[in-house]
Amino acid sequence: MGLKTFTKSILCCALFVIGALSAKAADRLVIVGDATWGGWNLSQSTVMQKSDENTDVFKATVHLDANKEFKFLTELGW
């Protein structure tokens, strides 16, 4: 392993650790997209509920259409 590769590896590991330590859980999680009944309309997004056992876990029972796109958002804005 050369010095350049070693330096890149150390930098990537350091950035990962900093990101992991500074991350915080989302207050809300919604699902939008063609695969959902509300489509890409943010006001009709599917809101996921926080788990009673662990507030960092969100739950939802959702029908998603096959071969269509969807995204998870933490806020109602693009």
Domain ranges of the chain: 25-78
* pTM score, whole prediction: 0.65
H helices present in 1-78, as ranges: 3-22
With a CB cutoff of 8 Å and minimum separation 6, the contacts of 26 are 58, 74
Residue 78 CA to residue 56 CA, distance in Å, equals 22
- Tell me, what's the pLDDT at 41? 94
pLDDT mean over 19-25: 71
| pLDDT surpassing 70 at residue 1 | no
pLDDT mean over 58-77: 92
Band (31; pLDDT cuts 50, 70, 90): very high
* Greater pLDDT, 6 or 52: 52
Residue 60, Cα to own-chain centre: how many angstroms? Answer: 14
- Tell me, what's the pLDDT at 27? 85
